[in-house]
């Protein structure tokens, strides 16, 4: 059976690249097909009916024509342009952080609807927290929730309940964490070779478990963490994401730069 020549997709635009005189190639994360790259002919012309539809962080509904090398957009409709996210520079940076991680962790032709929903829920949370500082729990918790759930939905959830080396249940005390070994380590086990091992405080372990157990960003409690715990959780998640991505996160550097600006 041949696949139909035209197919539909609902997708979140991640990034775009200009090609030719007035065309662009949009990378989207779609509910139905995972990551997609589509050609939007003439979309950079001011008079184009596609103008503005492919700005990063836009939820669009598309009709797409299959092509030999690249599929082409036939029709596009904006469902949500996330205006609250785009109202402020810091929120845009947070939104692009979400887009870049989705881009880095997702694959073509691999639909993962829960991951798609997570991205949209996180952008909604970022929009609601527009204007808040990076250390505000309304900003920080949904992004850390996104980090952990992205890892979970991609099959890279760090172990938070048992020691990755000996399998013993982790008692409520200080432990250690090794992103390269797969998560938390008890205090009795020897340090695995060739991995970076960090201290893991009980408070940070509890926050990570809370992020794991909570069903959606809307269900997160308003948790005022001490700065040290917030930074510890952020650092452990970033190290885990970077371990799996195996590349630098440009948006992460951008976020850190704005945080300390």
Size of the site for Zn ion (CB under 5 A): 5
Closer to Zn ion at the Cβ: 101 or 163? 163
Site residues for Zn ion, 169-188, by CB under 5 A, read 186
Min dist CB 192 to Zn ion, Å, is 10
- CA R_g for the chain: 20
Alpha helices, H only, the chain: 89-105, 113-128, 137-153, 202-213, 227-245, 250-259
Residue 102 contacts Zn ion per CB under 5 A: no
Site residues for Zn ion, 138-167, by CB under 5 A, read 163, 165-166
Residue 189 contacts Zn ion per CB under 5 A: yes
Min dist CB 185 to Zn ion, Å, is 6
Min dist CB 170 to Zn ion, Å, is 9
Residue 204 contacts Zn ion per CB under 5 A: no
Min dist CB 174 to Zn ion, Å, is 13
Q: In degrees to the nearest 10, what's the CA dihedral of 63, 45, 41, 100?
A: -70
Min dist CB 200 to Zn ion, Å, is 12
Nearest residue relative to Zn ion (C-beta)? 163
Q: Answer whether 53's CB lies under 8 Å from 74's CB.
A: no
Find tokens 């050609």 and name the residue: 39
Closer to Zn ion at the Cβ: 18 or 187? 187
**What x/- string results for residues 63 through 92 when contact with Zn ion is judged by CB under 5 A?**
------------------------------
Taking the CA of residue 260 as centre, how many other CA atoms within 13 Å lie in the half-sphere pointing to its CB? Answer: 6
Min dist CB 182 to Zn ion, Å, is 12
DSSP letters spanning 24-63: EEEEEEETTTEEEEEEETTTTSTT-TTTTTTSSS-EEEEE
| Distance (Å, whole) CA 94 – CA 251 | 8
Query: Any idea what DSSP says for residue 240?
Result: H
Q: Which residues bind Zn ion (CB under 5 A)?
A: 163, 165-166, 186, 189
């Amino acid at each position: 059976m041949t696949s139909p020549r035209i197919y539909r997709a609902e997708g979140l635009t991640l990034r775009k690249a200009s090609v030719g005189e007035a065309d662009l190639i949009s990378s989207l994360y779609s509910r139905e097909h995972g990551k997609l790259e589509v050609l939007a002919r003439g979309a950079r012309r001011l008079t184009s009916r596609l103008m503005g539809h492919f700005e990063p962080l836009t939820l669009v509904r598309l009709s797409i024509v299959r092509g030999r090398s690249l599929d082409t957009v036939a029709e596009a409709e904006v469902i949500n342009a996330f205006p609250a996210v785009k109202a402020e520079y810091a929120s845009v940076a947070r939104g692009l952080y979400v887009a870049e991680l989705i881009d880095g962790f997702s694959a073509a032709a691999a639909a993962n609807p829960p991951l798609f929903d997570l991205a949209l829920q996180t952008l909604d949370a970022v929009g609601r927290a527009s204007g808040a500082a990076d250390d505000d729990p309304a900003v920080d918790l949904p992004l850390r929730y996104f980090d952990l759930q992205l890892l979970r939905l991609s099959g890279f959830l760090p172990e938070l309940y048992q020691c990755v080396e000996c399998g013993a249940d982790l008692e409520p005390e200080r432990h250690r964490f090794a992103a390269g070994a797969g998560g938390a380590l008890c205090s009795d086990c020897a340090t695995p070779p060739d991995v970076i091992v960090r201290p893991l405080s009980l408070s940070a372990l509890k926050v990570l478990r809370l992020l794991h157990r909570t069903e959606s960003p809307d269900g997160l409690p308003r948790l005022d963490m001490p700065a040290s715990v917030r930074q510890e959780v952020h650092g452990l998640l970033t190290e885990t994401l970077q371990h799996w991505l195996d590349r630098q996160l440009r948006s992460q550097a951008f976020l850190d730069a704005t945080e300390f600006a």
